[in-house]
């Protein structure tokens, strides 16, 4: 996969608070090439999570334009962006965000079913095997450890062969050792599927594994550096 | 998402939610709601049928058509084609003789099937032991009222002659269906077979005979027959069914129906509240799931397609189970009350089951749908920012629709727009009041914070911080308490009204045909025998023939017989005092100066039907003479008081020229039977009508209604508990989390528990105040507008409800929040 997968042009985000307006992001512009891995770093409150939400089409910017997988997000309505997410995007979250009512396997099946895949169960089973949880298919999230839950979440994120995978502090709730394994897994699958990886992290080790780091401070991009 | 996938996923989510206990509150509330309403529905249905059946026993049939002439053969054929059983009865006055004695008797000639409902009660000796008769008198025999025997100086076994026919008196009539308290039957009854009428050769042209066509059968066949027949009736025809046949029974039935209808309304309303709370919690607990689904690419339509089938399935299952439960509950009750209920009860019809299902779905749609619809609007961004919630719904629109649906449903249940509107009006007023109360609560708890200990401060803070949750709970608990209070109130008041309507020593005999020159001697007799009686009223028979010169047939609406007052002879009277249970609603009662003036006091409802008001002129016909009189006052009359009552009363001195006999009602204790027998001997012309049997029937009906009412109260309470439970559950997550945090910060279990107690006790007390105000308002509406009872300020409500609320809600809240301190803080903080 070549070319540009994500483009942000002069993106700004303001929210109304108590009658006033608070600027969270200001004049953020960059592009991400397909297959690239990008870490968005910065202190708490620098706007990292807001930016990843905008890039993934979970929210719309107050100003500027974002293009994801060739589609201009501003031009899509809420359901259109949902469709785009279903087709092109995968997510991994700090708090795992598995559906508590579904088993591990069913959680992985969910995006496949939403996209209308007929062989959801088989494909989900393969992914569960790939993340080393083939013994845990029928367990509910609360019966799994934090690391196991995050592996299920990774399997779910890769289930639909997304063009872009967004990860929000994927190791934030895990101890260092478990976090390390999760990072390994994330990059292995990323390499196997040629997915573009965009993640937000505080973890220097994780950021260091990415090909490129975007530094945010008070809502502005202050540095954009490539790894050596 | 493809449809099969959707349904599979919906089904799986439903199952998982069910197993995880997410749906239990919602489902339980629905089952209780539908169970309660359909139990009430089934119960009312059967009770109504049973009560109608008992009234039919008094009537001897389900429907009677009276006519002075034989009716068209087609009318009979129609009844037969509808599968109705029938019989024909002839009544006419005739002289009967025994030896030298002669007496005018009311002859009743019956067919082989008489009575179609109920049974004749007979005895072998005067006032002897009674038993049910098997069948009716065979040809050649006469069954007579005991009071005929002394009049003709005869005994059982003797023969009497009727026209050319000799009939042997074999039985004495103790109770005769179709004759309960009917003043028209003044002469002693002689019951014979219809076959003997022709043989007696006493009926010729011009005979004063009345034909009674008796019908009995299935309820809907009767309804259809009635609907078919009514438009064809002529003025001389009279159609009597259970309701119209006997005013006393009819009024009791009507009140019972209204009352049970009201109780079922309270249950429906409470259930709606419980379901709304359950659905809200369910919806809020699914915000995360919806956000995740949106994040994974589900459209808003997908979210709806996922949750609506779940709701529908839940509704069908819950309502179905509720109907089954309701059916079982009413069956159990009937089993328990076998002694008091008629031996054979009709099975419940399918209508209550359908209504139950419909109620469940409508309540669910009205109260659970809005929060579920909110799920569709959960922003996908919530996966990153958990504090994001969907926009609140346009509550007016959605709850307005729910209210509309409920109104329809209520209307269907009560069959009364007045009742429905007054309950809904009360609910709306209560909501307004609630807003004020919630605001006051905020103020009060802010002030209380400073003086109270830490535990109380924590508890009151809980209320202060969540004003809308607090307001919602006040509404729920207040409604529960209000329903309880209202039902207790109405039940007690209604019963006492009924009791006062039938006091312990209510008149149990009517005495008629006291001759004018015997009045003084008769009064003396009553005094000597220590028998309580009402005033003696003169009785003059006359016909109402015109209103302001217009013939009365043209004044009345087609098919209206003026409540029976117009097409037959009226009992007219005169009096200088107004009966104590009558009330003047227009004009004035006369003074001594009005004596001899052609004035009348007219019963208000008859006046309305006649379109006659104060100053209008009514013409009466007495045999050959006529008399015009001006309406001087309108009166309301309690027809069910068992006292002499009249449509038309004259002042003294107007009717002196007309032949009159005198009448009264009296109470004779069982020990005074001998005195009654003595009366029959001393005053041979006097006719005594025993009301005791009729009243016993009415009492039984009222006892049954009372039990039904108590039973219904239990269901309303159950629905109330569902609300309580749902409300506790609704705030439990937040409480668990806070409790864990507080305990981590060093709060003791005792402090937390005391805080919960304080919070719920205050909530209960406020709900009590709310309930007192609401009940007062609704009761006032109901008393004055629906039941037409006197209303007085119900101060005990204000004294009792707040402490009851504090106690009940405090205890329930204390119990319901025990998990907050039982679970380890670590477990709580990790799972939430």
For residue range A12-41, list pLDDT tens digits in order: 999 887 778 888 999 999 999 998 999 999
The pLDDT mean for chain B works out to 78
**Residue A190 or A1, more confident:** A190
DSSP 8-state secondary structure symbol assigned to residue B122: E
**Residue B648 or B11, more confident:** B648
Q: How far apart are CA A221 and CA A39, in angstroms?
A: 12
Q: What is the pLDDT of residue A13?
A: 92
Q: What is the pLDDT of residue B247?
A: 45
Q: CA of B33 to nearest chain A CA: how many angstroms apart?
A: 27
Per-residue pLDDT for A51 more than 70?
yes
Relative orientation angle of helices A146-158 and A104-114, to the nearest 10 degrees? 20
Q: DSSP secondary structure string, B283-298?
A: HHHTHHHHHHHHHTT-
**Residue B558 or B741, more confident:** B741
Judge if the upstream peptide bond of residue B115 is cis by omega within 30 degrees of 0.
yes
A52 reaches B (C-beta below 8 A): yes
B786: tokens are 């629906």
A49 reaches B (C-beta below 8 A): yes
Would the CB atoms of A82 and B297 count as touching at under 8 Å? yes
Q: CA of A199 to nearest chain B CA: how many angstroms apart?
A: 13
Integer Rg of chain A from CA? 17
Tell me the pLDDT band of A1, cut-offs 50, 70 and 90: very low
Q: What is the pLDDT of residue B246?
A: 45
Per-residue pLDDT for B624 more than 80?
no
Which chain B residue has the Cα nearest residue A115? B1
Beta strands (DSSP E) in chain A are: 4-17, 20-33, 37-41, 63-68, 71-72, 89-92, 164-168, 196-200, 212-217, 220-226
Q: DSSP secondary structure string, B501-536?
A: HS-TT---EEEEEE-GGGHHHHHHHHHHHT-EE---
Q: CA of B805 to nearest chain A CA: how many angstroms apart?
A: 37
Which chain B residue has the Cα nearest residue A78? B299
- Find the mean pLDDT for residues B180-186: 43
**Residue B437 or B745, more confident:** B745
Q: How far apart are CA B791 and CA B783, in angstroms?
A: 6
- Find the mean pLDDT for residues B508-519: 82
Per-residue pLDDT for B612 more than 90?
no
Per-residue pLDDT for B183 more than 50?
no
Helix (H, G, I), strand (E, B) or coil at B494: helix
Chain B neighbors of A153, CB-CB under 8 A: none
- β-pairing, B570-574 vs B210-216, is unpaired
Chain A neighbors of B13, CB-CB under 8 A: 101-102
Which chain B residue has the Cα nearest residue A80? B299
**Residue A73 or B679, more confident:** A73
- Over residues B36-50, the pLDDT tens digits come to 778 877 877 776 676
Q: What is the pLDDT of residue B181?
A: 39
DSSP 8-state secondary structure symbol assigned to residue B651: P
Residues B121/B132, Cβ–Cβ less than 8 Å:
yes
Q: CA of A85 to nearest chain B CA: how many angstroms apart?
A: 5
CB atoms within 10 A of CB B275: 30
Question: What dihedral do alpha carbons B313, B317, B323, B326 form, nearest 10°?
Answer: -130
Least confident of B35-44, B105-114, B436-445: B436-445
A213 reaches B (C-beta below 8 A): no
CA distances from A131 to A101, A137, A185, A201, B83 (A): 21, 11, 7, 22, 77
- Find the mean pLDDT for residues B1-13: 73
Residue B468 exposed, middle or buried by CB count within 10 Å (0-12, 13-18, 19+): exposed
Per-residue pLDDT for B150 more than 60?
yes
- Over residues B339-394, the pLDDT tens digits come to 555 545 677 778 888 888 888 888 888 888 888 888 888 888 888 877 777 776 66
Q: What is the pLDDT of residue B554?
A: 77
- β-pairing, B537-547 vs B661-667, is antiparallel
Would the CB atoms of B299 and A106 count as touching at under 8 Å? no
Tell me the pLDDT band of B182, cut-offs 50, 70 and 90: very low
Share of chain B above pLDDT 90, in %: 8
CA A110, chain centre distance (Å)? 17
Helix (H, G, I), strand (E, B) or coil at B112: coil
Relative orientation angle of helices B247-285 and B287-295, to the nearest 10 degrees? 50
Would the CB atoms of A114 and B298 count as touching at under 8 Å? yes
Q: How far apart are CA B175 and CA B119, in angstroms?
A: 8
Residues B546/B562, Cβ–Cβ less than 8 Å:
no
Would the CB atoms of A101 and B17 count as touching at under 8 Å? yes
- Find the mean pLDDT for residues B791-816: 86
- Over residues B48-86, the pLDDT tens digits come to 676 666 667 777 888 889 887 788 889 999 999 999 999
* Range picked from B100-114, B248-262, B787-801 for highest mean pLDDT: B100-114
Residue B112 exposed, middle or buried by CB count within 10 Å (0-12, 13-18, 19+): exposed
- Find the mean pLDDT for residues A37-51: 90
A125 reaches B (C-beta below 8 A): no
Residue whose entry in the numeric block shows the structure tokens 């920012």: B385
Residue whose entry in the numeric block shows the structure tokens 């009301």: B691
Tell me the pLDDT band of B412, cut-offs 50, 70 and 90: low
A168 reaches B (C-beta below 8 A): yes
Q: What domains does chain A contain, in order, with CATH numbers?
A: 36-57+76-226 (3.40.50.300)
Q: What is the pLDDT of residue A95?
A: 84
Least confident of A169-178, B199-208, B620-629, B679-688: B199-208
Share of chain B above pLDDT 70, in %: 75
Residues A29/A66, Cβ–Cβ less than 8 Å:
no
Interface test with A, best of B295, B299, B382, B733 (most A CBs within 10 A): B295
Tell me the pLDDT band of A214, cut-offs 50, 70 and 90: very high
- Find the mean pLDDT for residues B798-820: 87
Q: Give the N- to C-terminal CA distance of chain B in Å, as an integer.
A: 30
Per-residue pLDDT for B184 more than 60?
no
- Over residues B269-293, the pLDDT tens digits come to 777 777 887 888 888 888 888 898 8
Per-residue pLDDT for A158 more than 80?
yes
Per-residue pLDDT for B397 more than 70?
no
Chain A neighbors of B299, CB-CB under 8 A: 79, 82-83
Q: What is the pLDDT of residue A166?
A: 93
Instruction: Closest CB to B2: pick one of A99, A102, A116.
Output: A116
Which sign does the torsion angle of CA A203, A205, A210, A212 carry? Answer: positive
**Residue B241 or B697, more confident:** B241
- Find the mean pLDDT for residues B86-103: 82
- Find the mean pLDDT for residues B704-725: 69
Which chain A residue has the Cα nearest residue B15? A101
Per-residue pLDDT for B718 more than 70?
yes
Q: CA of A4 to nearest chain B CA: how many angstroms apart?
A: 22
Per-residue pLDDT for B435 more than 70?
no
Q: How far apart are CA B739 and CA B733, in angstroms?
A: 10
Least confident of B225-234, B524-533, B781-790: B781-790
Which sign does the torsion angle of CA B430, B435, B438, B440 carry? Answer: negative
**Residue A202 or A54, more confident:** A54
- β-pairing, A37-41 vs A196-200, is parallel
Q: How far apart are CA B612 and CA B94, in angstroms?
A: 37
């Amino acid at each position: 996969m070549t070319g540009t997968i994500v483009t942000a042009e002069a993106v700004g985000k303001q929210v109304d608070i108590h009658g006033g307006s608070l600027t969270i992001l200001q004049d953020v512009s960059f592009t991400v090439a397909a297959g690239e891995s990008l870490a968005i770093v910065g202190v708490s409150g620098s706007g990292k999570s807001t930016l990843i939400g905008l890039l993934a089409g979970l929210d719309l910017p107050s100003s500027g334009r974002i293009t994801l997988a060739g589609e201009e997000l501003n031009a899509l309505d809420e359901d259109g962006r949902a469709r785009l997410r279903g087709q092109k995007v995968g997510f991994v979250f700090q708090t795992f965000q598995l559906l508590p009512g579904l088993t591990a396997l069913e959680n992985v099946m969910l995006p496949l079913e939403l996209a209308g895949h007929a062989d959801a169960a088989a494909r989900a089973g393969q992914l569960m095997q790939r993340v080393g949880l083939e013994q845990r298919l029928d367990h509910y999230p609360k019966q799994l450890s934090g690391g196991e839950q995050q592996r299920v979440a990774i399997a779910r994120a890769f289930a639909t062969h997304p063009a872009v995978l967004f990860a929000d502090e994927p190791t934030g709730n895990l101890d260092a050792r478990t976090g390390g394994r999760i990072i390994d897994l994330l990059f292995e699958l990323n390499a196997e599927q040629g997915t573009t990886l965009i993640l937000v992290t505080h973890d220097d080790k994780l950021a260091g594994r990415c090909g490129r780091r975007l530094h945010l401070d008070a809502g502005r991009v202050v540095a954009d550096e490539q790894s050596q | 998402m493809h449809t099969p996938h959707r349904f599979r996923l919906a089904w799986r989510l439903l199952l998982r939610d069910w197993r995880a206990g997410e749906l239990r509150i919602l489902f339980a509330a629905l089952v209780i709601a539908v169970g309660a309403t359909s139990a009430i529905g089934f119960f009312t249905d059967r009770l109504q049928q049973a009560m109608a059946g008992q009234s039919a026993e008094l009537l001897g049939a389900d429907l009677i058509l009276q006519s002075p002439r034989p009716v068209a053969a087609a009318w009979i054929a129609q009844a037969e084609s509808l599968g109705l059983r029938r019989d024909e009865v002839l009544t006419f006055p005739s002289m009967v003789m025994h030896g030298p004695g002669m007496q005018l008797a009311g002859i009743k000639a019956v067919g082989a099937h008489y009575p179609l409902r109920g049974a004749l009660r007979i005895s072998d000796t005067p006032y002897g032991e009674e038993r049910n008769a098997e069948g009716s008198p065979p040809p050649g025999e006469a069954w007579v009222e005991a009071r005929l025997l002394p009049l003709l100086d005869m005994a059982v076994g003797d023969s009497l002659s009727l026209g050319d026919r000799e009939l042997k008196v074999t039985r004495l009539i103790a109770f005769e269906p179709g004759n309960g308290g009917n003043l028209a039957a003044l002469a002693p009854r002689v019951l014979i077979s219809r076959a003997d009428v022709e043989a007696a050769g006493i009926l010729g042209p011009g005979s004063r005979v009345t034909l009674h066509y008796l019908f009995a059968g299935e309820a809907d066949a009767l309804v259809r027959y009635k609907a078919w027949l009514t438009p064809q009736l002529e003025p001389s025809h009279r159609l009597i069914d259970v309701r119209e046949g006997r005013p006393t029974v009819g009024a009791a039935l009507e009140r019972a129906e209204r009352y049970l209808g009201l109780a079922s309304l309270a249950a429906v309303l409470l259930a709606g509240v419980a379901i709304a709370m359950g659905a809200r919690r369910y919806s809020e607990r699914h915000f995360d799931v919806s956000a995740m689904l949106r994040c994974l690419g589900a459209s808003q339509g997908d979210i709806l397609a996922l949750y609506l089938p779940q709701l529908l399935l839940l509704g069908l299952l819950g309502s179905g189970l509720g109907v089954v439960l309701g059916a079982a509950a009413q069956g159990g009750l009937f089993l328990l009350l076998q002694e008091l209920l008629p031996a054979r009860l009709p099975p419940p019809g399918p209508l209550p089951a359908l209504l139950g299902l419909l109620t469940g779905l409508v309540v669910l749609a009205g109260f659970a749908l809005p929060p579920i619809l909110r799920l569709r609007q959960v922003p996908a961004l919530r996966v990153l920012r958990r504090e994001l919630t969907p926009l609140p719904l346009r509550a007016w629109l959605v709850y307005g629709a729910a209210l509309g649906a409920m109104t329809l449903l209520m209307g269907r249940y009560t069959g009364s727009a007045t009742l429905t509107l007054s309950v809904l009006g009360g609910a709306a007023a209560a909501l307004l009041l609630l807003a004020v109360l919630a605001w006051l609560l905020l103020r009060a708890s802010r002030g209380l914070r400073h003086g109270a200990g830490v535990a109380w401060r924590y508890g009151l803070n809980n209320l202060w911080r969540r004003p809308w949750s607090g307001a919602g709970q006040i509404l729920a608990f207040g409604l529960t308490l209000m329903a309880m209070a209202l039902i207790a109130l109405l039940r007690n008041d209604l019963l006492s009204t009924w009791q006062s309507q039938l006091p312990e020593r209510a008149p149990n005999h009517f005495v008629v045909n006291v001759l004018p020159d015997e009045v003084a001697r008769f009064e003396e007799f009553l005094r000597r025998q220590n028998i309580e009686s009402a005033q003696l009223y003169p009785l003059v028979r006359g016909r109402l023939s015109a209103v302001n010169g217009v013939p009365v047939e043209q004044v009345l609406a087609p098919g209206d017989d003026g409540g029976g007052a117009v097409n037959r002879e009226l009992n007219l009277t005169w009096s200088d005092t107004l009966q104590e249970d009558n009330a003047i609603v227009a004009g004035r009662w006369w003074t001594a100066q009005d004596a001899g003036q052609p004035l009348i006091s007219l019963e208000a409802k008859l006046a309305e039907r006649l379109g006659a008001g104060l100053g209008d002129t009514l013409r009466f016909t007495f045999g050959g003479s006529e008399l015009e009189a001006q309406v001087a006052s309108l009166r309301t009359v309690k027809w069910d008081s068992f006292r002499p009552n009249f449509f038309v009363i004259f002042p003294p001195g107007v009717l002196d020229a007309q032949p009159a006999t005198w009448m009264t009602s009296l109470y004779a204790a069982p020990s005074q039977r001998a005195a009654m027998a003595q009366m029959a001997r001393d005053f041979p012309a006097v006719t005594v009508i025993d009301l005791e049997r009729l009243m016993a029937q009415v009492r039984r009906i009222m006892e049954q209604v009372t039990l039904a009412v108590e039973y219904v109260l239990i269901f309303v309470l159950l629905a109330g508990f569902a609300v309580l439970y749902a409300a506790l559950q609704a705030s439990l997550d937040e409480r668990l989390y806070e409790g864990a945090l507080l305990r981590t910060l060093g709060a003791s279990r005792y402090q937390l528990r005391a805080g919960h107690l304080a919070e719920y006790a205050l909530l209960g007390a406020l709900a009590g105040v709310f309930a007192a105000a609401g009940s007062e308002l609704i009761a006032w509406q109901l008393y004055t507008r629906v039941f037409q009872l006197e209303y007085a300020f119900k101060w005990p409500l204000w004294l009792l409800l707040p402490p009851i609320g504090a106690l009940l809600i405090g205890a329930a809240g204390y119990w319901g929040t025990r998990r907050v301190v039982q679970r380890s803080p670590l477990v709580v903080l990790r799972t939430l």
